[in-house]
Structure 1
Amino acid sequence: MAARGHVQDPNDRRLRPIYDYLDNGNNKMAIQQADKLLKKHRDLHCAKVLKAIGLQRTGKQDEAFTLAQEVANLEPTDDNSLQALTILYREMHRPELVTKLYEAAVRKVPTSEEYHSHLFMAYARVGEYKKMQQAGMALYKIVPKNPYYFWSVMSLVMQAISAQDEKLSHTMFLPLAERMVEKMVKEEKIEAEAEVQLYFMILERLGKYVEALEVVRGQLGEKLTSELQSRENKCMLLYHQLKHWPECNALSCKLLLKNPDDWQFYLSYFDSLFHLIDQSWTPPEEGDHCTEGEVHCSVSQAISFVEERLAAEEAKESRPLRGPYLARLELIRRLRQRSCSEEQQLGEPLELMFQYFVKFGDKPCCITDLKVFLELLMPDQYVQFINRLTEAVPLGEAGEDDVALPGDTRALQRHLCVAQLGRCLGLQHALDTDGKLALIRELKIHYHHGLQFGKNCLKTELQFSDMYCLMAAHVYVDLWMETGNEQMLWQCLGLLEEGLSHSPSNAQFKLLLLLLFCRLGAFERSQSSLPLGIA
């Protein structure tokens, strides 16, 4: 509830029991206590508002609103009444009334920093950006602090973003915001990183990328410290916008030397490299290649660069990073798209993806990593690829069901990755009806076996073997679509409901259930599933 720090005020002491009742959810006692207090102190406005809050929470909205308006019409200026009315209006979902409340307070106490700041925030909640701008400047004139000035600047930016006329944004709101910030820059009054971020946002929206680059690389850019590599990321973005490919390439190289696992910089490196090749760019004979340093402008340099990153990872005693291995596959893909024979220097994709699986197959991300590069395989390699991966999965001896099962979660994850890749390659779809039924049986066995690894999981956590259940459900759907046999659909629904009983938070189970219920026309059942799933 409202602040009650100054116990020296006798009114605070009188109001404290009502606050306590409201905080504890005892609204009826709060109303009774407020009535007692109002009999002795009829002019204690805050007590009326607290009574109104109690009435609101007991379902008597009309009485609460009438009582609150009685106080609001008096235009109170005491903190307790204002804060209590603010809480009440929020609970009533009437934030526009809070603005009127503080507009009146500001008229009565025009020099109050607190009331002006509350008024600004009230405007922000209802999206009154023009009034926010005016409130921010009024506050800055009273208390000349940087944050208040930049509140006004941000309000201009919000007017530009929300304006329906884009021309108006670029000819009035954003230029005015830019001039306001430039004034502070010239007076050397920029203090905080957020102020530099706002300046950068304005220049970027105006399309002034050169000016934005000067800001980031200048003294103001030194304040960009809250995010790791914030200046470098912004420079990279601007180099892309300006098509300064040499600088983009050189900066990517430098950043990858520091962090060879940052995928976004590999993409920037390859993008800039091939742009330079297309433009037949060559470095100058003397001096630096560009302001960021050395530039790679040939396929051979790119191959050497990637291989150096790989060699550094192989030499590490600790587990290697994924980035360089994926970068090699990405380079192969881009070279193949351009029909460059140099791709052969990097190796055979099937072998490279197998090696990647051996290194990282026990990570859940392995499937999404390799899925992107499956297009590098030829159709006649699909079965060979899956067979090789299967051989690398450490499974135990086949039991009574004639199915070899993993002994721990890492082996389970590897087997799961192979099964998902097989589906991505279409091998599951190519099976006949008997083959799909046998696959479902195997997936169910793996699913039930994997549940033992998640016995201690919370209800909000997913079971390790959930994906087996989901894949089996999708194979059931495949059979239903192919044969029209609704028995397959009912089996699928039963399996998904079983999966939900073990993983109540699995969104994929819930979404598939909703889809199937809707396909069956069981809309009431799909609605009853919403609390379990998406609502």
Structure 2
Amino acid sequence: MAARGHVQDPNDRRLRPIYDYLDNGNNKMAIQQADKLLKKHKDLHCAKVLKAIGMQRTGKQDEAFNLAQEVATLEPTDDNSLQALTILYREMHRPELVTKLYEAAVRKVPLSEEYHSHLFMAYARVGDYKKMQQAGMALYKIVPKNPYYFWSVMSLVMQAISAQDEKLAQTMFLPLAERMVEKMVKEEKIEAEAEVQLYFMILERLGKCVEALNMVRGPLGEKLTSELQSRENKCMMMYQRLQLWPECNALSYKLLLKNPDDWQFYLSYFDSLFHLMDMSWSPSEEGHCVEGHVTTTVAEAVKFVVDRMAEEDKKDSRPLRGPYMACLELIHRLRQRGCPDDKELGDPLELMVQFFGKFGDKPCCITDLKIYLHLLPPEQHTQFRNRLEELVPLGEAGEDGFRFPGDTKALQRHLCVCQLSRALGLQHALDTEGKLSLIAQLKAHYHHGLRFRKSCLKTELQFSDMYCLMAAHVYIDLWTENGDENMLWQCLGLLEEGLSFSPSNAQFKLLLLLLFCRLGAFHMSSTTPLGGRLYGYS
């Protein structure tokens, strides 16, 4: 509630019990206490508003609104009344009334920094950007602080963003915002990083990429320190916009030497390399690049990537994924361009097996490798799956003939192999008997993996949930192929079992919804926990 701890006058002490009742949720006692206080002090406006808050929270919205309006029409200027009315209007979802409240307060106390700033924020809540701009400048004239000036500049940018007429944004709002910032730059009044960020945003939206690049490279760019490599990221963005591929390539090269795991710079490095090759760019003809060394041949790029992998292999600590994925990405791009595979990069199958050996116990391994499975010819799919299975530590076979992982890392490796097998189409190629055998295996692994749930909260997913989901999809495959509805009922039962152990698993819920709808059982789909929300029920 309001700042009841500041006992500046007797009224604060009198109002404190009401605040306490409201804070504790005892709204009826708050109303009674307010009535007692109003009998003795009829003109204590804040008490009326606090009573209105209690009435609002007990469901008497109309009475609360009328009582609040009695105070609002008096245009109060005391902090307690204004803050209490703000809280009430917020709970009533009437933020537009807060603007009127502080407009009146500013008229009565025109030199109040606090009331002007509250008025600006009130305009921000209702999205009135033009009045935000005016309020920001009025506040800056009273208290000439940089943040207030840039509130007004940001309001102009918001008018540009929200303008339906793009021409108006480009010819009026953004140029005015640019001139306002340039004035501060010329006067050397730029202080904060946020001000530089705003200037960059304006120049970017105006399409002034050269000016934005020069600004980031210059003294103002030195203020971009809150984010890691913020300055370099902005330079890279402008190099790409301006198609300055030598600078883009050299900067990517330099940044990858510092952080060989930054994937976005691998992509920009390869993009710029092939653009330079298409342009037949030569450093001897074009001159020196301001960012440093430029890679102009595939051989140089191959050596660079291979060197990054070699450095990771030497590390005693866990290696980074970036260089190994960059090797696969470069093979992919060379094949796209019809170039033969470079022998130095290695065989894709061996590279992916190596990657799995290093990172197979991480959930990201499946998504990392999945996008490069097309590098493997069909005749290598089974071999690849078998090679990965050799790297999964499983225990001895039990009575049912299945071997299970002994910990969550081994479980994650086995899950990755199963998911990659499905992505390669090996599961789809099985006959009915083979798919039923696969389902039995997946279900056995699912139930075995539930033993690791002791360390999970109820809201967390189980480590073995993906086994259950994959088994459900194989059931669906059998249903769609053979039309056997028994497979569908088995699938529904398995998903319901999965939900009993992992009630927060949205994939289970969504798949259940889909299946119920396919069966025409719309009532069932609307009564599931997620289905009720999707269909508008409680």
Q: Normalising TM by the smaller chain, what interval?
A: over 0.9
Structure 1 position 193, deviation (Å): 0.3
Say whether residues 1:363 and 2:362 are aligned partners: yes
Alignment-derived partner of residue 84 in structure 2: 84
Alignment-derived partner of residue 135 in structure 1: 135
TM-score, reference length from structure 1 = 0.98
Output the CA distance in 2 between the equivalents of 1:243 and 1:325: 28
Alignment-derived partner of residue 377 in structure 1: 376
Alignment-derived partner of residue 413 in structure 1: 412
Give unmatched runs, 5+ long, in structure 1. none
SS in 1 for 2:528: helix
Output the CA distance in 2 between the equivalents of 1:286 and 1:385: 46
SS in 1 for 2:282: coil
Structure 1 position 217, deviation (Å): 0.6
Give unmatched runs, 5+ long, in structure 2. none
Q: Is the 1:507–1:533 contact (alpha carbons within 8 Å) kept by the matching residues of 2?
A: no
Alignment-derived partner of residue 518 in structure 1: 517
Say whether residues 1:207 and 2:207 are aligned partners: yes
**Worse-superposed segment, 301-310 or 450-459:** 450-459
Structure 1 position 318, deviation (Å): 1.2
Q: Is the 2:526–2:532 contact (alpha carbons within 8 Å) kept by the matching residues of 1?
A: no
Q: Is the 1:443–1:472 contact (alpha carbons within 8 Å) kept by the matching residues of 2?
A: yes
Q: Is the 2:306–2:344 contact (alpha carbons within 8 Å) kept by the matching residues of 1?
A: no
CA displacement, residues 195-231 of structure 1 (integer Å, 9 cap, x when unaligned): 0000000000001000000111110000000000000
Output the CA distance in 1 between the equivalents of 2:455 and 2:349: 38
**Structure 1 residues 247 and 461, CA gap change in structure 2 (3 angstroms):** same
Structure 1 position 438, deviation (Å): 1.2
**Structure 1 residues 533 and 332, CA gap change in structure 2 (3 angstroms):** farther
Output the CA distance in 2 between the equivalents of 1:83 and 1:489: 59
Equivalent AA in structure 2 for residue 500 of structure 1: L
CA displacement, residues 149-203 of structure 1 (integer Å, 9 cap, x when unaligned): 0000000000000001111110111000000000000000000000000000000
Structure 1 position 522, deviation (Å): 2.6
Output the CA distance in 2 between the equivalents of 1:527 and 1:10: 57
Alignment-derived partner of residue 103 in structure 2: 103
Say whether residues 1:158 and 2:158 are aligned partners: yes
Alignment-derived partner of residue 487 in structure 1: 486
Output the CA distance in 1 between the equivalents of 2:487 and 2:193: 59
Structure 1 position 313, deviation (Å): 0.8
Equivalent AA in structure 2 for residue 238 of structure 1: M
Q: Is the 1:281–1:297 contact (alpha carbons within 8 Å) kept by the matching residues of 2?
A: yes
CA displacement, residues 17-69 of structure 1 (integer Å, 9 cap, x when unaligned): 00000000000000000000000001001001000100110111111111111
Alignment-derived partner of residue 147 in structure 1: 147
Q: Is the 1:49–1:85 contact (alpha carbons within 8 Å) kept by the matching residues of 2?
A: yes
**Structure 1 residues 183 and 117, CA gap change in structure 2 (3 angstroms):** same
Equivalent AA in structure 2 for residue 173 of structure 1: F
Alignment-derived partner of residue 172 in structure 2: 172
Alignment-derived partner of residue 233 in structure 1: 233
Structure 1 position 325, deviation (Å): 0.6
Alignment-derived partner of residue 469 in structure 2: 470
Q: Is the 2:102–2:119 contact (alpha carbons within 8 Å) kept by the matching residues of 1?
A: yes
CA displacement, residues 59-113 of structure 1 (integer Å, 9 cap, x when unaligned): 1111111111111111111100110010001101111111111111111111111
Aligned residues: 534
Alignment-derived partner of residue 6 in structure 2: 6
Equivalent AA in structure 1 for residue 48 of structure 2: K
Q: How does 1:278-357 map onto structure 2 within 5 Å?
A: 278-284=278-284, 289-357=288-356
Output the CA distance in 2 between the equivalents of 1:482 and 1:531: 29
Output the CA distance in 2 between the equivalents of 1:412 and 1:534: 33
Alignment-derived partner of residue 73 in structure 1: 73
Alignment-derived partner of residue 118 in structure 1: 118
SS in 2 for 1:210: helix
Q: Is the 2:52–2:88 contact (alpha carbons within 8 Å) kept by the matching residues of 1?
A: yes
Output the CA distance in 1 between the equivalents of 2:527 and 2:148: 49
SS in 2 for 1:455: helix
Output the CA distance in 1 between the equivalents of 2:402 and 2:74: 79
Query: Percent same amino acid among aligned pairs?
Result: 82
**Structure 1 residues 248 and 392, CA gap change in structure 2 (3 angstroms):** same
**Worse-superposed segment, 252-261 or 503-512:** 503-512
SS in 1 for 2:116: helix
Output the CA distance in 1 between the equivalents of 2:31 and 2:113: 33
Equivalent AA in structure 1 for residue 369 of structure 2: L
Output the CA distance in 1 between the equivalents of 2:481 and 2:38: 75
Q: Is the 2:103–2:119 contact (alpha carbons within 8 Å) kept by the matching residues of 1?
A: yes
Alignment-derived partner of residue 266 in structure 1: 266
Output the CA distance in 2 between the equivalents of 1:438 and 1:453: 24
Q: Is the 2:360–2:413 contact (alpha carbons within 8 Å) kept by the matching residues of 1?
A: yes
Runs of 4+ in 1 over 6 A off after TM superposition: 532-535
Output the CA distance in 2 between the equivalents of 1:302 and 1:533: 54
Output the CA distance in 1 between the equivalents of 2:353 and 2:98: 63
Equivalent AA in structure 1 for residue 23 of structure 2: D
Output the CA distance in 2 between the equivalents of 1:31 and 1:279: 78
**Structure 1 residues 273 and 286, CA gap change in structure 2 (3 angstroms):** closer
Output the CA distance in 1 between the equivalents of 2:486 and 2:56: 53
Output the CA distance in 1 between the equivalents of 2:4 and 2:351: 66
Output the CA distance in 1 between the equivalents of 2:217 and 2:226: 16
Output the CA distance in 1 between the equivalents of 2:358 and 2:9: 69
Output the CA distance in 2 between the equivalents of 1:520 and 1:16: 61
Q: How does 1:177-196 map onto structure 2 within 5 Å?
A: 177-196=177-196
**Structure 1 residues 178 and 68, CA gap change in structure 2 (3 angstroms):** same
Alignment-derived partner of residue 452 in structure 1: 451
Structure 1 position 285, deviation (Å): 6.6
Output the CA distance in 1 between the equivalents of 2:529 and 2:75: 45
Output the CA distance in 2 between the equivalents of 1:99 and 1:412: 58
Structure 1 position 534, deviation (Å): 6.2
